[in-house]
Amino acid sequence: MSDSTQQKISNGVKTRFAPSPTGFLHVGGLRTCLYSWLFAKKNNGKFILRVEDTDRQRYVENAVENLLKMLQTMGLDWDEGPFLENDKIIQKGDCGPYIQSERLEIYQNLAKKLVEEDKAYYCFCTSEELDKMKQDQMAQKLPPRYDERCRKLSKIEIENKLKNKTPYVIRLKVPEEGTIAFTDLIRGEIKFDLKDIDDQVLLKSDGFPTYHLAVVIDDYKMEITHIIRGEEWIPSVPKHILLYQYFNWPLPQFAHLPLLLNPDHSKLSKRQGDVTVEDYLSKGYLKEAILNFIAFLGWNPGTEQEIFTLEELIKTFSLEKIQKAGAVFNVEKLDWLNGCYIRQMNIDELTKQCMPYLEQAGLIKSLNFGWIKKIVALEQERLKRLNEIGDLTKFFFLDVLEYTPELLQWKKMDNQQIKDSLSQTCAILEKISSDEFTAKNIMDNLSPLKEKIGVGEMLWPLRVALSGLKSSPPPEAIAEVLGKEKTINRVNQAIEKLK
């Protein structure tokens, strides 16, 4: 079959995201969703959500609700499908139901139709027979596949087994010779030899469809024009094309996305780190940064621009700019992007988003938003993830800092020189009134001492005395936030350490 049969449905572009409720949303699923959403928006089309819950063994309670909440959180809206309203799932649209387990009769009737038209057949093999078949093939170093024994059953044998209520599945009857070809919008023409295609199970013995039957029926019935999904589904395409042919339905367009890879180029998996969107949000990655980062996992606009809003992505996105090779999930790049977004944030909003992490760290005893905002503002430039805020700002909330006296040393200063530096600094700070204890006034007053003993000799011991850290915001900025009393107490505590 040539790809010329592929055609667009006349009423415009329509894409879908069709996850299985088997847990939390994977970053790979989010990328599929984002690309499908962007393509629909770019082409003034429709984007629908469908729940593929026919694998009942892997079904997770409340996974659908979690999925809907997560997509809402990420700001990816949809035109049809299940929606969450007052904690209840409501389905909207003309092509429903949008939950596969509510469409069983549709799949069963169409599977039976294929059998009646000799395009599929009943298979009565037991799991024991199938296991032995597989073992025998592996012993002969053959690829495991169904040997088509039930395809050869006579009409009378089939009728007797059905009459005796022998459990069965329905299998696709794949032609024994020929080729199937289609044009992938990312990879170009792909061909398959039909002799390499297994007689796929379409309907299981429990009456539930397999993915292959349900996805074809649903994509056609829901008028999907462009199927955007991971490259792991490429081997399934010939089976799906056969079903489109057997039903005499027009083919949609296919676009298969590159794999997501770990830095060592293995497939992205839980074994090597976080893979769910929840994981990244809980660590303090902003949704805008996650979407921006995910957009670049396989796609590139061909320009130097790296920071994109969703609106900019809609204008720029195209399937032609998606690469074929696997995309490496580089957390360092995500950290950099997230830092860029944090630096662009309004300080009030950033402080609000940092509050839960400060509470988790046990640092907030009483809510003083104005004071906490000053602390967050000092770390805004250095912050890469919101969950870093506790470690970066812990020293502001402590009564006594824990650090070794050696940390106070700048280059080859001895203890007496450090004490002299801190004592002179403290004397100057004592003379500044509490009302005028600002970073600018502090530096203006300390400037003569800085010129006299040296920049590092004055500022380094003061930085460590106020923060207990090697790396921190400027000491005068810390002092302003701490206030005069706390600042002088900390300088005196540092002097005590040197005795």
| pLDDT for position 302 | 93
Longest CA–CA separation in the chain, Å: 107
Peptide bond preceding 97 in cis form (omega within 30 of 0): yes
Where does the pLDDT of residue 270 fall: very low under 50, low under 70, confident under 90, or very high at 90 and above?
Answer: low
Percent of the chain with pLDDT over 70: 97
Q: Are 24 and 55 in contact (CB under 8 A)?
A: no
pLDDT at 9 over 80: no
Which ranges of 207-366 would DSSP assign to H, the alpha helix? Answer: 211-221, 237-247, 277-282, 287-295, 310-316, 331-344, 347-360
Q: How far apart are CA 288 and CA 307, in angstroms?
A: 10
To which H or E segment does residue 361 belong? Answer: none
Instruction: Look over the chain and give the mean of its residue pLDDT values, rounded to a whole number.
Output: 94
Q: What is the pLDDT of residue 461?
A: 98
Residue 22 and residue 20: Cα distance in Å, rounded?
A: 6
How far apart are alpha carbons 144 and 130 in whole angstroms?
A: 10
User: What pLDDT, on a 0 to 100 scale, did the predictor assign at position 182?
Assistant: 97
329 close to 267: Cβ distance less than 8 angstroms: no
Half-sphere exposure at residue 239, Cβ-oriented, CA atoms within 13 angstroms: 23
Band of residue 430 on the pLDDT scale cut at 50, 70, 90: very high
Distance of CA 294 to the CA centre of its chain: 7
- Between CA 182 and CA 253 the distance in angstroms is 9
Residue whose C-alpha is closest to residue 190's, from 235, 229, 224: 235
Q: Give pLDDT, residue 499.
A: 82
Query: What average pLDDT does the segment 314-339 reach?
Result: 97
- Provide the pLDDT for residue 274: 72
pLDDT at 118 over 70: yes
Kindly indicate the confidence band of residue 187, based on its pLDDT and cuts at 50, 70 and 90: very high
User: What is residue 58's predicted lDDT score, i.e. its pLDDT?
Assistant: 86
* pLDDT tier for residue 1 given thresholds of 50, 70 and 90: very low
Predicted local distance difference test score (pLDDT) of residue 2: 38
Q: What pLDDT sits at residue 56?
A: 81
Q: Is the pLDDT of residue 10 over 70?
A: no
Distance CA 82, CA 191 (A): 36
Model confidence at 139: pLDDT above 70:
yes
Contact between residue 40 and residue 46 where contact means Cβ atoms under 8 Å apart: yes
Name the residue type at position 243: L
Q: What is the pLDDT of residue 415?
A: 95
**Confidence bin at 271 (pLDDT 50/70/90):** low
Element (H, E) at 112: helix 104-116
Report the amino acid identity of residue 300: N
Residue 190: φ, ψ to 5° = -130, 130
**Region 375-393: what's the mean pLDDT?**
97
Lowest mean pLDDT among 2-6, 407-411, 447-451, 463-467: 2-6
Instruction: State the catalytic residue, choosing from 113, 195, 267, 270.
Output: 270
Q: Quick one: residue 39, left, alpha or beta (phi over 0 = left, psi -120 to 50 = alpha)?
A: alpha
* Residue 272: per-residue pLDDT: 61
Q: What angle do CA 408, 414, 419 make, to 5 degrees?
A: 60
Give pLDDT tens digits for 466-492: 999 999 999 999 999 999 999 999 999
Average pLDDT over residues 166-170: 98
331 close to 268: Cβ distance less than 8 angstroms: no
pLDDT at 4: 34
Residue 57 has pLDDT above 90, yes or no: no
Mean pLDDT of 202-224: 97
What is residue 307's three-state secondary structure?
Answer: coil
Share of the chain above pLDDT 90, in %: 91
Identify the pLDDT of residue 224.
98
165 tagged catalytic: no
pLDDT reported for residue 8: 42
In one-letter notation, the amino acid at residue 491 is V
